[in-house]
Amino acid sequence: MGFKIEKEEYVNRTFRISKKLVEEMEIICNEKNISLNKLVVKCIEYALKNLDDTE
């Protein structure tokens, strides 16, 4: 049995985000030494996993 690396598929999308929010996120990125893209993905994943289904 061989070693297989699964390739994840990505898509490009454009979102409008307030300047203030981007500035706050860039501060976190600099502190954590991660890319803005990675932070956005982590935030979205967290939000979706913790979404309150009751309205």
Is residue 2 one of the residues assigned to a domain?
no
User: Which structure tokens are listed for 40?
Assistant: 């956005």
Domain housing 27: 19-49
pLDDT tops 90 at residue 53: no
Q: What is the pTM for the complete model shown? A: 0.77
Number of domains in the chain: 1
pLDDT of res. 25:
98
Q: pLDDT tens across 6-48, in order? A: 898 999 999 999 999 999 999 999 999 999 999 999 999 999 9
Amino acid at 22: V
Which CA distances in Å does 30 have to 1, 10, 48, 54? 42, 24, 24, 35
Q: Is residue 41 part of a domain?
A: yes
Q: What is the DSSP string of the chain?
A: -----PPPP---------HHHHHHHHHHHHHHT--HHHHHHHHHHHHHHT-----
Whether the CB-CB separation of 39 and 32 falls below 8 Å is answered with yes
